[in-house]
Structure 1
Amino acid sequence: MSVASASITAVVALLGVVLGGWLSIRNQDRLWQRDHARQWRDIRLAAYKDFVTAYRQYVAFTLQPSANITAVRFPHSPERLTPFFDQVGQPYKERLETAATTVRLVSESLDTLHAARDVVRSVRQIAASRATHSEEALPAELFQRLWSAQHAFLLAVREEFGLAVLPAGTDDA
């Protein structure tokens, strides 16, 4: 009986070690996943912040009286104009393109991607229009489109982060 009792004790101890090891690995995996999710959330938040900063600086530059912008027809869509900047404006364009590409790389949500694309299109339309209009004569509907696109972007990002929906009238441009 002592051999059977010793065997049962050894098996129970071994099962305890296996179960403890499995629980420890499972707990470590959960911690790693939580930490990984937190890191990606921080990466996305930084990318979205950089994107907002870049498109606002882009628009601010296009509204400067000294901005030198030209526009040409888009090769695949002749109805659309593509803005081109001089050396002073080129960094604003590059910053926007880089930030928009980063958003495309890190976003989890298609709604966020589509909203960011709409923001980029809106600011490009403002810049293309600025090529033929003075800063005071830019069509108001271009800014309305930008504000709508910006609002959609903010809503999509908030949804992606699991935040509450903004009440109407709380989104200032």
Structure 2
Amino acid sequence: MNVASASITAAVALLGVVLGGWLSIHNQDRLWQRDHARQWRDIRLAVYKDFVAAYRQYIAFTLEPTANITAVRFPHSPEKLTPFFDQAGRPYKERLETAATAVRLVSESLDTLRAARDVVRSVREIAASRATHSEGALPAEPFQQLWSAQHTFLLAVRAELGLAVLPVGTDEA
């Protein structure tokens, strides 16, 4: 009986060591995945914040009385105008393009990508409109499209990041 008892005790001890090792590895993997997800969430949040800052600065420059913007027909859609900036406005355009590309690189949500694309289209339309209007005579429709696109973008980002839905009455610019 001593040999059988010792064998059972050894087998139980070995099973305990194996199970403990597996649980330790499993817990370490879960911690790594949680930390990895948190890091990517922080990266996405920073990229989305930079995107919002870039398009708002783009709009602010567009509304400057001294902004020199020209517009030409878009090659693939002649009914649309595409804006061109002078040397002073080029950094705003480049920052917007860089931020929009960064959104495309890090976003996991198709809704976020579509909403960011709509924001970029809206701000470009405002800039193209500014090429033919003074800053005080810009039509309201492109701005309404921008506010709508911005709201959709914020909702998509919040959903992607797992944040609560925006409370009612907080969707103003």
Q: TM-score, normalised by structure 2?
A: 0.97
Superposed counterparts of 1:54-73, under 5 Å: 54-73=54-73
Deviation string, structure 1 residues 98-147 (Cα, Å, up to 9, x no partner): 10011111111111111111000000000011111111111101100000
Question: In angstroms, what is the RMSD of aligned CA positions?
Answer: 1.0
**Shift, 1:66, TM fit:** 0.7
Superposed counterparts of 1:32-47, under 5 Å: 32-47=32-47
- 2:93 aligned partner: 93
> Residue 132 of structure 2 aligns to a residue in which SS?
coil
Any stretches of 5+ residues in structure 2 without a counterpart? none
- 2:49 aligned partner: 49
CA distance in 1, matches of 2:77, 2:11: 74
Whichever residue aligns with residue 86 of structure 2, its letter is D
CA distance in 1, matches of 2:39, 2:80: 39
- How many residue pairs were aligned? 173
Q: Is the aligned partner of 1:157 residue 2:154?
A: no
CA distance in 1, matches of 2:81, 2:18: 66
> Residue 71 of structure 1 aligns to a residue in which SS?
strand
- 2:8 aligned partner: 8
> Residue 136 of structure 2 aligns to a residue in which SS?
helix
CA distance in 2, matches of 1:12, 1:115: 58
- 2:113 aligned partner: 113
Any stretches of 5+ residues in structure 1 without a counterpart? none
CA distance in 1, matches of 2:3, 2:135: 94
CA distance in 2, matches of 1:167, 1:26: 38
> Residue 72 of structure 2 aligns to a residue in which SS?
strand
Aligned-residue identity in percent? 87
